[in-house]
Amino acid sequence: MAKQRVHHGEPPLSWLWDYYPLARDAWGNVLGFNDGSGDGHTIRMRMWLRAAPMSNFPPPAYRPAQAPLPPMFQDGGSRDCYIPTDADTALVKRLFGDVADAGNPPWPQVEARLIVAGQDRDKLATYNAPTLLLLLAEAEGMNAGGNGGTSACKPAKAKGGRPKVTDAEAEKRRELIDAWQRARDAGVSRKDFCHDRKCSWKYLERCIVWAAQRSRRGTKA
């Protein structure tokens, strides 16, 4: 009779997505231990906060919510997490061609691109992770289950260090975003707006990503 294997050390971890990744208190993406206690699509996870003496920079650990909290850890709260499928990660690769890890999608960029496409920012916070990806694929003219897509789906190449945004640039970005929201509500197309404002679509998207990130951090945009 073969001996049962015993696992030692840290349990195997996999990417899990906050079920509502654009909610204000969302975790985004976490590397957590999925013990199969969920329904196969979602799992309730708890954040274990390591006590300071255990490490100079103690990262949190994510474990199933029903698991007992071990000594030297504090409870960081729990949230429902989505278990991404192969189809989900394949769609992430198509939407973000240069993403380093399709299991770790950039939700702020998802949010920004959907806002530019006409979605309401507050309503996006109520959509679950797979719905957000499908909405983005539809907004950018992609068949979520097919091949190809438009060139608009390809993000700009990553660049080295980001320069600090000056007060003047911040004001310019805020004014542009406000103008786009008014124009969008009036039925002006993205192409016509960018033409009239003499700005590129990539610059408008970058401004909205910047504003969304500051909003999620609670910083005035």
Q: Is residue 7 part of a domain?
A: no
The owner of tokens 């998207």 is 205
| CB hemisphere CA count around 29 (13 angstroms) | 14
pLDDT band at 173 (very low <50, low <70, confident <90, very high): confident
pLDDT tens sequence across 196-218 = 888 887 788 878 877 776 665 65
Q: In terms of C-beta density within 10 A (0-12 exposed, 13-18 middle, 19 or more buried), how is residue 49 classed?
A: middle
Same domain, 93 and 78: no
pLDDT band at 47 (very low <50, low <70, confident <90, very high): very high
Same domain, 35 and 110: no
pLDDT tens sequence across 56-77 = 656 889 999 999 998 888 899 9
Same domain, 102 and 211: yes
Same domain, 91 and 78: no
Q: Is residue 173 part of a domain?
A: yes
Residue (of 188, 187, 179) closest to 208 by Cα position: 179
Q: Is residue 44 part of a domain?
A: yes
Q: How many domains does the chain have?
A: 2
Boundary of a domain, candidates 64, 82, 100 = 82
pLDDT tens sequence across 106-135 = 999 999 999 998 899 899 999 999 999 999
Token digits of residue 34: 């999925």
Looking at residue 207, what is its pLDDT?
A: 84
Boundary of a domain, candidates 58, 82, 106 = 82
Find the mean pLDDT for residues 45-58.
Answer: 76
Same domain, 162 and 92: yes
pLDDT band at 97 (very low <50, low <70, confident <90, very high): confident
Residue (of 39, 35, 59) closest to 47 by Cα position: 59
Looking at residue 210, what is its pLDDT?
A: 76
Same domain, 182 and 201: yes
Looking at residue 55, what is its pLDDT?
A: 57
Same domain, 159 and 59: no
Find the mean pLDDT for residues 131-143.
Answer: 88
Give the C-alpha separation, 61 to 76, whole Å. Answer: 9
Domain coverage including residue 153: 86-216
Looking at residue 93, what is its pLDDT?
A: 94
Same domain, 91 and 165: yes
Q: Please check whether residue 26 is in contact with residue 87, taking contact to mean a CB–CB distance below 8 angstroms.
A: no
Same domain, 76 and 112: no
Give the C-alpha separation, 175 to 115, whole Å. Answer: 16
Q: For residue 180, is pLDDT > 90? A: no
Same domain, 61 and 120: no
Same domain, 20 and 77: yes
In DSSP notation, 1-59 reads -PPPP---SSPP-EEEEESSTTSTT---EEEE---S-S-SSEEEEEEEEEPGGG-SS--
Tell me how many degrees the CA angle 65-71-36 measures, rounded to the nearest 5: 25
Looking at residue 217, what is its pLDDT?
A: 60
